[in-house]
Structure 1
Amino acid sequence: MIKKIIKKDIKNILNPIILLVFIVIIIVPSLYSLVNIVAFWDPYNNIDQLNVGIVNEDNGYIGKELVNSLEKTKDLNFVSTNYENGYKNLNRGSYYGLMIIPKNFTKSIESINTSNPYHGDIQFLTNGKTNMVANKIMTSGGIEIQKEINDKIVSTIAGITFGEGKNISDLSMPKINSYESEMNTINNYLSKSYTLSKLVYKDAKKVIIYVNKTNHSEKLLKTLTNDLNKLNNKINNFNNQRILFEDDVNYFNENYYPLLVKISKYNTLSVENYFNSPVIINNTDIHPLKSYGDGIAQFYIPLSLFIGNLIPLAMFSPRVKGLKVKPFQEYLGKLALFGLISVLQSTVLTIGLVIINVQYFNPFMLIISNIFIGLCFTIFIYSLVSSLGNSGKFITILMLVFQIGGSGGMYPIQLLPKFFQIIHFILPISYGVNIIRENVAAPLVDVLISNALILLIFPIFGVIFTLIIKPFLQKKINDVENILEKSELF
């Protein structure tokens, strides 16, 4: 009897009109996925088309330089304007952001040269009602602009702060050695001068002794003695200063000379770069995606397969008419039709993904994964509809609503409300998303198998549930569907 059901369905499909509907049912789910993937393939590559107004009210020169710099950037399309027109365009959606540079901007930046520096304020206006994603880009853009301006200012200040060190570092080793040699020469000269002074003092002392022996006047002797004492004091003072200078030279040679040698080897550009960014984070994506479209494909592929399995159940009846069959015969016989549709949908979808060049690790693994996911969805959805009728369709649609938000396909599940975090684990698309993700690059076999086994629970549950419940509910469901059909509303 199951074979008769399958043959009857195949015969009906060969009708030209039904065949056309059959083909449309196979293609439409693929179009849903492929069109959305292509539409969002690389939107961030075109953010230079987003208009951002700049109002420069600065009385100084820095605001003008900032405007010129921003107008040359390719990150966003910056347009100079006045406040009135800028706000009007922002409010009407022509501008996605409006930057206002205040009158005292240059003064605030130059306040670093005063004893009371203060930061410069730039107002960045956005319009949340224009577009959610654009508004997010504008907010991030404002942060990036702030970072860029701060980096330039810090770079300038670092250059000024390091200016003295830079002058020192311009000293070459020969110059440093020359300075050391000159100081040593001066020290030697002072030492010789001191020695010579002592000799002069001794000779002068001999003269006084000679004068004393020759009985010269006492007044002359006293004058010479006083002059000699003064000379001796000056020599002693000179010697003290010489000793201090010698100590300074020794201290310089022991402390500053090695430092100058070290500074002379500095790369001043490297030092300034260090002050600009003491820490650099090197980002590396271990499984990089070629485009944004490759990322959202991981969500749209299983989503389109789930929706694709809802469409034939809305178009084709899961009931057998014209034949007396048992509930399990009807269930298994009709399952072949919907299973065939699912396989064809998955195949067409995979071909489309290859054509638009979606990133995948292996095409064979991709088509097997898509067929597996599609069949799991088909058996589960068909089982609910076959056993519960329109109530099964309602449950499936309700699941679809929650799966769009709770599957974790677009946003990490940890970022979603607690309710979606709880139901995430009982939604079949969640595991379909994980399987497709493992198809992107270097799949983890254990992750792939574990998600496949969990996803397999849904069709197994559907089969067992249907084989148990369907015999008891079959007559009631048929009666309800007959009533709905006679109402000419369904």
Structure 2
Amino acid sequence: MWKIFITDLKNIGTNWVAMVLIGGLIILPSLYAWFNIAASWDPYGNTDQIPIGIVNEDEGATVRDQEIHAGDEVVKSLKENRSLDWKFVDREKAMDKLEYGDYFAVIVIPKNFSESLGTVISDQPEKADVEYYVNEKINAIAPKITEKGASAIVEQVTSNFISTVNEIIFEIFNDLGVEIEKNLPDIEKFEDYLFTLEKNLPEIHDKLNQTSEDANSAGDLINKAQDVLPRAKEVTSSGLKTIDNTTNFLNQAEDRLNKISPQIDKDLEKIQKMVSDTNSFVHEIDTSSIEFGEEKQISDSINSQIEKTLQSIGTIKGALKQVQEQNISNAPSNEQENQPDEGENEEENENETEKETENNIQVNPNQETINKAISELENMEQQLTNLQTQGSEIKSLAEKRKGQVEEAFSSIKERSETVNERVDAFVKEYKETIEPTVRNEVASAKQTLTEAREILVGIQSTIPEVESILNRTEGNLGDGKETLNKVLGEFPYINDKVNELANRIRNIQKDTDINEIIQLLQNNPEAEKGFFAEPVVLNQHKVFPIENYGTGMTPFYTVLSLWVGGLLLISLMSTEIHGPRAENYTGRQIYFGRLLTFLSIGLFQTLIVTLGDLYLLDVNIKEPLWFILFGILCSAVFVTMVYTVVSVFGDVGKAIAIIMLVLQIAGSGGTYPVVLLPKFFQVISPFLPFTYAVGIMREAVGGIVWEKVAHDVVFLVIFAILALILGGVLKNAINKMTHVLGEKARESGLFH
């Protein structure tokens, strides 16, 4: 085995053609890796070179007297966006460019774009559409990139729209919160009012029923009042007539009083003089010098004076009685005619009653004064009559005895003095009190009647208006009764709603606090707008950061180049020893001896490709040393497997190696995650060396997790061991069969 290996090395070193070919085999796999890595270095960093047509057909819209042009806003934002090569053209040109492949995609903003967005405030909002056209035959990846661009436009418009709408909403919320806070006392009062209303609903219902009954009674009263209005008119007219008559009577009484007043003054002076003379006469009589024969003369003199006085008193009393009769003669008829009829309205009754009372108050003092004066005159008459009687008794007393005469004269003197004093007092009272009082009362009565007449005239002029009011009130009362009945009919519903609302408020008070609601409503609209423009921020944390797409693809293309390197080796180099010296070695010796040669060339392939990744392409690899070592391991496994299948199966083995390459490119997860592959590739993926080789190389590029490395190394070693077992144990047996097949194939002249 070692002799074969050393011989192969000598032959390569001494044959410059072999040396050139081996050098090519060492370098060619690296080119495969480097070109692919460089080509895919940062494809997504150049998306600004992908032309995308933008067609803006939006006509704008008017929302609440404010014009909006959402399409123009989109165009404006795209002009500031350099993620893709936006081309702003019309629809016809854009579609032509798209069909010929000049544009990868076209995005059309329709005419009703703004109008559809504006429906957000309507009862039936409509979603705004954006038309997206893509030419997928140009490239397999480009449609995905352009689709992301279209999605980005939609997301941007959506974000701006949501943030703008939410800014307006939260401005309203903020204003609402301020207003609620401002009106919080009123809200709390309303809650109290509502609970009070709920508590008083039974009483309100009772009041409504009572009001309904009162309305019926009021209707009856209005009907009665309407019935008595004609009588009220008659009574008013009669009252005016009575007042006019009474005023005439008072004028006559005043005239009569003016006429008799001088006569009364004369009679009073006369009475006063006669009483004074009588009193003087009585006092002049000396009982000690009385001659009892003159008793008749004395008695006649006294009687004569008293008789004249009595006549004067009678004249005065008669005059006062006439005044009294004229002053009050009309009072009974006034009371009777001015008596308010039943059914008149309450205001008229009160006015009549007040007037009647006022008349009584003003007339009664007049009557009382005159009555008192008449009573005083009658008392004086009685005193004078008694004095006259005593004077008549003088004669009979004189006949009896002188002592009794003296006693009688003494009594006469006293009575005469009393009468004289009372007359003087009466005269004074008459002049100072009685006559002024009578005149004042007559004038007051006339004034009262004048005022009463004015009141009656006012009442008479008001009766038509009262009649109109009663008629109008009757109509309104009918409407009110109808409304009241309707309210009573709706009361159960109102009662249920008030109770329901009160219960809801109680539940809300249990679950929430209105102050918390106010705090939630009050906000910064600008801050809320920013929040809803990007409610979720993606904070990306790269556990094993990869610089770019090329770096991410480096493990796959490096592993692929190592397998391709093995294929190149078996394509140009023989796995067998030819010539006379072949007979000196066994099949196992040839297998292991030539394997060492292949492994040595594979080692140099690995060093070239890995070092080129590091220093030529400047791939950012976290663990460069382990990247090289893991590459050597992968190359040894791949070369062993490829060499073994070709050494054991010959040309069939070459086909097997190529088939394995095809399956591993698709099923190893080097480009797409295995979970995204069809089921077949997901099933075979664990049985492919690429799966573990790409995995272990990714650990070196991104950052090592040793448990994962150990797992991959174990499976790669298993693949190598299986290959060694196949080549070391079964090579001779299988070669005998493949030798026969090879000879047969060479007979056709098509194969070597």
Post-superposition offset of 1:93: 1.1
C-alpha spacing 1:258/1:420, structure 2 compared with 1 (3 Å):
closer
For the 8 Å contact 2:168–2:525, the answer to whether it is kept is no
- Give CA-to-partner distance per residue, 1:409-459, whole Å, 9 cap, x none: 111111111111111111111110111111123311111011111111111
- Give CA-to-partner distance per residue, 1:93-139, whole Å, 9 cap, x none: 11011011111112112222333321111101111111110011112
Say if 2:653 is the partner of 1:392: yes
TM-score by length of 2: 0.52
Post-superposition offset of 1:380: 1.3
Post-superposition offset of 1:268: 3.0
C-alpha spacing 1:482/1:66, structure 2 compared with 1 (3 Å):
same
> What is the aligned partner in structure 2 of residue 189 from structure 1?
none
Moved more, 45-54 or 298-307: 298-307
Gaps of 5+ in 1: 182-211, 221-250
> What is the aligned partner in structure 2 of residue 289 from structure 1?
546
Moved more, 307-316 or 439-448: 439-448
- Give CA-to-partner distance per residue, 1:367-387, whole Å, 9 cap, x none: 110000100111111111111
Q: 1:336 aligns with which of 596, 600, 603?
A: 596
Moved more, 279-288 or 54-63: 279-288
Instruction: Give the aligned residue type for 1:342.
Output: G
Post-superposition offset of 1:279: 3.6
> What is the aligned partner in structure 2 of residue 351 from structure 1?
611
- Give CA-to-partner distance per residue, 1:181-232, whole Å, 9 cap, x none: 9xxxxxxxxxxxxxxxxxxxxxxxxxxxxxx9xx989999xxxxxxxxxxxx
**Structure 1 CA distance for aligned equivalents of residues 518 and 676 of structure 2:** 55
* Identity between Structure 1 and Structure 2 (%): 32
> What is the aligned partner in structure 2 of residue 164 from structure 1?
172
SS in 1 for 2:73: helix
Q: 2:113 aligns with which of 101, 105, 115?
A: 105
SS in 2 for 1:410: coil
> What is the aligned partner in structure 2 of residue 23 from structure 1?
23
Say if 2:673 is the partner of 1:412: yes
Instruction: Give the aligned residue type for 1:304.
Output: S
Counterparts of 1:366-377 in structure 2, within 5 Å, are: 366-377=627-638
**Structure 1 CA distance for aligned equivalents of residues 525 and 167 of structure 2:** 9
Counterparts of 1:391-470 in structure 2, within 5 Å, are: 391-470=652-731
C-alpha spacing 1:6/1:111, structure 2 compared with 1 (3 Å):
same
Moved more, 4-13 or 400-409: 4-13
Post-superposition offset of 1:275: 3.5
**Structure 1 CA distance for aligned equivalents of residues 576 and 647 of structure 2:** 8
For the 8 Å contact 1:90–1:127, the answer to whether it is kept is yes
Counterparts of 1:185-334 in structure 2, within 5 Å, are: 266-322=523-579, 323=581, 324=583, 325-334=585-594
**Structure 1 CA distance for aligned equivalents of residues 22 and 745 of structure 2:** 24
> What is the aligned partner in structure 2 of residue 10 from structure 1?
9
Post-superposition offset of 1:259: 6.3
**Structure 2 CA distance for aligned equivalents of residues 477 and 256 of structure 1:** 92
> What is the aligned partner in structure 2 of residue 64 from structure 1?
72
For the 8 Å contact 1:54–1:100, the answer to whether it is kept is yes
For the 8 Å contact 1:13–1:19, the answer to whether it is kept is yes
**Structure 1 CA distance for aligned equivalents of residues 561 and 145 of structure 2:** 28
Q: Comparing both structures, which one devotes a greater share of its residues to helix? A: 2
Say if 2:49 is the partner of 1:49: yes
Q: 2:147 aligns with which of 121, 124, 139?
A: 139
Aligned length: 421
Instruction: Give the aligned residue type for 2:570.
Output: L
- Give CA-to-partner distance per residue, 1:32-89, whole Å, 9 cap, x none: 1111011101110010110000112221232222222212211111111121211111
Post-superposition offset of 1:270: 2.5
Say if 2:378 is the partner of 1:379: no
> What is the aligned partner in structure 2 of residue 128 from structure 1?
136
Moved more, 59-68 or 460-469: 59-68
Moved more, 40-49 or 463-472: 463-472
SS in 1 for 2:701: coil
> What is the aligned partner in structure 2 of residue 248 from structure 1?
none
For the 8 Å contact 1:71–1:79, the answer to whether it is kept is no
**Structure 2 CA distance for aligned equivalents of residues 80 and 268 of structure 1:** 34
Instruction: Give the aligned residue type for 1:128.
Output: E
Instruction: Give the aligned residue type for 2:604.
Output: L
TM-score by length of 1: 0.79
Instruction: Give the aligned residue type for 1:381.
Output: V
Moved more, 83-92 or 110-119: 110-119
Gaps of 5+ in 2: 61-68, 186-353, 362-447, 452-508
For the 8 Å contact 2:696–2:712, the answer to whether it is kept is yes
Larger C-alpha radius of gyration, 1 or 2?
2
**Structure 2 CA distance for aligned equivalents of residues 100 and 277 of structure 1:** 25
